Structure 1
Amino acid sequence: MACPENMFFLIVLFISGVLVCFGQRDLITTMPDRLDVLTGSCVQIPCSFDIPHQNKYTFNSAILPSGVWIKENSNFRERPDRVIFNSSKLVNRYQGEITGNISQMNCTTVFFNVTTNYTDKYYVRIESQPYRATDPDKSVEIDVSDLPSSPILTVSGEVKEGIPVSLNCSAVAPCPEHPPELTWTLPTQFTTENQLQENPDQTKSVLSTVTFTPSYLHHEKNITCTAVYPVGTSNKTTEHNMMLNVSFSPKDTSVSISPADSVSVGSCVNLTCSSTANPPVTNFTWFQISEGKTTQVASGQSYTLNVTGDGGLYYCEARNSHGCGKSNEVQLAIKGQEDSKTSGVGFWFLVSGVAAGTLGVILLISLISLFVWRRNLRLHDGLERTDSPQGQNSPVGTVCTNQATAGEEPADDQPEEIHYGDIDFSKLQTKDAAQDRVQGQESEYAEVNVTGSRAQVPHLNYLDGLYAQVN
């Protein structure tokens, strides 16, 4: 059995430990662990506190408590210069303001015109007669920089072709009075929505949400979220880039042939199927079209075959988890078929050319013959007229037509007169007439001069089978 002295010692030690433990947590504060601040801007420190039950009776909320901020270390009794702000004083080392209601245990504080010297750890102390306590176990670290921190980009779910998707961009707002402005750069049309929101640690940030419908053309394209922070009379800018990862079915599916030139029947040809897809193509299938019937002939990205007489039509299909894509149909070029087709076409053009040339020559000859015939006809008429000059007696009289202009009519006041003349047929020589008959000339024409005016006499005299027209 332990002696009474030892038992008493243990009890005293236990009570002392409990008192010491409660003495270290006379004040329990809640603050962010870290704040990133811009030089020349302001910083708001969200702050709240709680008082353990055993000390609440000493906290007098009726009298406005004071909030004190201590820099570097919570122990300020040996270093009073560590106290940089006291709400009960008018002059402080740091320009600031406690915006929270301390009576309601809200110690939120704003510091203005932050400089790089502000970078450090900070503790909170609450003073209210007779309650005074500091929380040495909780501090906030302030990091002051000349450049703002980059915004954060996040995607809500998988980005699939044709399905609307939302992208979120978040930028911290250490000075809620001057929050950053967020803008987007995307390779397509979009709509945005911006709002100032509170984070779980009670800090503020600006959230911008953009909504758009992605296409396979947007795959691996960059998007940018830019944050512009107003600082005094100038701005400070930062941005975050991200590459889009769009899921889509196979696109631009095509077939390449090796060798590309025409091949002989019986030789080997290699067909290769190419396609763009995300995720990559997992299955390639080959089809042949022959006599209007489509048949699956192989699988795999490449297909090697022996060329048959008809060559045939071929195409491929590429498939992934989002769908499939079909290539255009390709025709194998066969040497023999190409030569025969080329020869047939050449022969046809040759025959057509010869026929056209022959027709042209015949037409040309016909035109020339017609021209010569008409020309000879005119010359013949001219010679007949010049052979019997006017006023010369001929074996047989020749009718001479009126040389007046066609369509000319005699005047109404001058009646047409008919003049008659005597014809002496004794001058006709029988020998000459006989010779003319032998030569097959059945008609003789004589031109007779008459006295007076010349008039056309439509009078025919028949004599021995000869005709004469008297003018």
Structure 2
Amino acid sequence: MPDRLDGLTGSCVQIPCSFYIPDQNKYTFNSTIHTSGVWIKENPYFGGRPDSVIFNSSKTVNIYQGKITGNMSQKNCTTVFFNVATSYTNRYFFRIESQPFRATDNEKSVDINVRRKTQFNCSPTIFPSSYSFHQNLPSSPILTVSGEMKEGTPVSFNCSAVAPCPEHPPELTWTLPTQFTTENQLQENPDQTKSVLSTVTFTPSYLHHEKNITCTAVYPVGTSNKTAEHNMMLNVSFSPKDTSASISPADPVLVGSCVNLTCSSTANPPVTNFTWFQISGDKPIQVASGLSYSLNVTVGDGGLYYCEARNSHGCGKSNDVQLAIKGKTGT
């Protein structure tokens, strides 16, 4: 069985459980004979402490309301405790009682931690993916991303929330800045506990960069719902966008004047190279590189200019700007 399980008051907790009989005792255990399962809290040695035996499947009345859902004849002792309370927080041991075989595994136990029904209402902005929760609140779902978040390339997000009560698993919902499709399923973890997995797929654009994505787990508890959520800020890679060029001064200038041309662009990762071009006839000619281009104007400098911004994902071209020279025909 798992080392630890978390639950919420008023809900149920399912304990995945199986057992085997050591070779030296296998001939004293008869699977065809009715076998009872007994749960003991805190300490496996219950002699003189009858209240530590909180559940016995052979009895109709127990301290804990529960049921062994596994088939004991097949050595499956999976158990569900219903309507759990914070007082259930403790360590538990399992005992087999059959004729003539009786045994308790003193070295294996499960710690059950039951949280109070407190509303979870925290919305941290987190990147990269991480999560946390207060001990009195439902566990935050785990949010992960598969693949690189790149503009135009479909990406999948996985949200997983523990389902301590598989009969009433949490419902997972998404909040995204775009249209999306989802796929939900109840899955079994390596320790045989259950969790709900929701996968959402969408194609990000540069407009989604630094927007939030939220996965919310809604836990049904009695007649009410308790929620836990996990936020992630999107980090979308994209080629340069909104590339523009400006010229100062913008008015016609005299030959010999100083003029500054500046390029701006939005990109992730940031722009690594700015290149300036002057349009001569029908062909652009590269004249400089860098975010800014300064020149002392000569007669041949008049005309149209533009810049290109480049990063590892591509290139963006700016608008054309006019460098006008006073007294020059056609400007």
Give TM-score, length-normalised by structure 1: 0.63
1:32 is aligned to: 2
Q: In the TM superposition, what are the counterparts of 1:148-167 in structure 2 within 5 Å?
A: 148-167=138-157
- Residue of structure 1 equivalent to 2:223: 233
Match of 1:328? Answer: 319
Counterparts of 1:259 and 1:132, CA distance in 2? 94
Q: What displacement does 1:327 show? A: 0.6
Matches within 5 A, 1:183-202: 183-202=173-192
State how 1:28-427 maps to structure 2 within 5 Å: 31-145=1-115, 146=117, 147-310=137-300, 311-337=302-328
Q: Give the distance between the partners of 1:82 and 1:333, measured in 2 at CA.
A: 93
Q: Answer yes or no: is the 8 Å Cα contact 2:244–2:318 preserved in 1.
A: yes
Task: State the alpha-carbon separation in 2 of the partners of residues 287 and 251 from structure 1.
Answer: 18
Where 2:61 maps in the other structure, the secondary structure is coil
| Contact 2:303–2:324 (CA under 8 A) maintained in structure 1 | no
The 3 A distance-change label for structure 1 pair 61 and 319 is same
- Measured in 1, the distance between the counterparts of 2:82 and 2:48 equals 27
AA matched with 2:51: D
RMSD: 1.7
CA drift of 1:121 comes to: 1.1
2:177–2:211 contact (8 Å) kept in structure 1: yes
Cα distance in 2 for partners of 1:133, 1:125 equals: 6
**Cα distance in 1 for residues equivalent to 2:220 and 2:12:** 11
- The DSSP-based 3-state class of the residue aligned with 2:27 is helix
Rounded to whole Å, the distance in 2 between the matches of 1:135 and 1:326 is 72
Aligned length: 310
SS of equivalent to 2:19:
strand
Q: What one-letter code is carried by the residue in structure 2 that aligns with 1:253?
A: T
Alpha-carbon offset, residue 165 of structure 1: 1.3
Query: Does the residue aligned with 1:141 lie in a helix, a strand or coil?
Result: strand
1:127 is displaced (CA, Å) by 1.4
Task: Give the unaligned 5+ runs of structure 2.
Answer: 118-136
Contact 2:10 2:83 in 1 (8 A): yes
**Dislocated runs of 4+, deviation >6 Å:** none
Identical amino acids, percent of aligned pairs: 84
Query: How far off its partner does 1:229 sit?
Result: 1.2
Counterpart of 2:130 in structure 1 is none
> 1 or 2, which has the higher helix percentage?
1
**For the Cα contact (< 8 Å) 2:185–2:196, is it kept in 1?**
yes
- Compute the displacement of 1:324 (Å): 0.6
CA offsets, 1:151-197, max 9 Å, x none? 11111111111111111111111111111111111111111111111
- Is the CA contact (8 Å cut-off) linking 2:239 and 2:311 kept in structure 1? yes
TM-score (normalizing by structure 2): 0.89
Supply the distance in 1 between the matched residues of 2:253 and 2:80 (Cα, whole angstroms): 83
Partner of 2:132: none
Displacement of 1:78 in angstroms is: 4.2
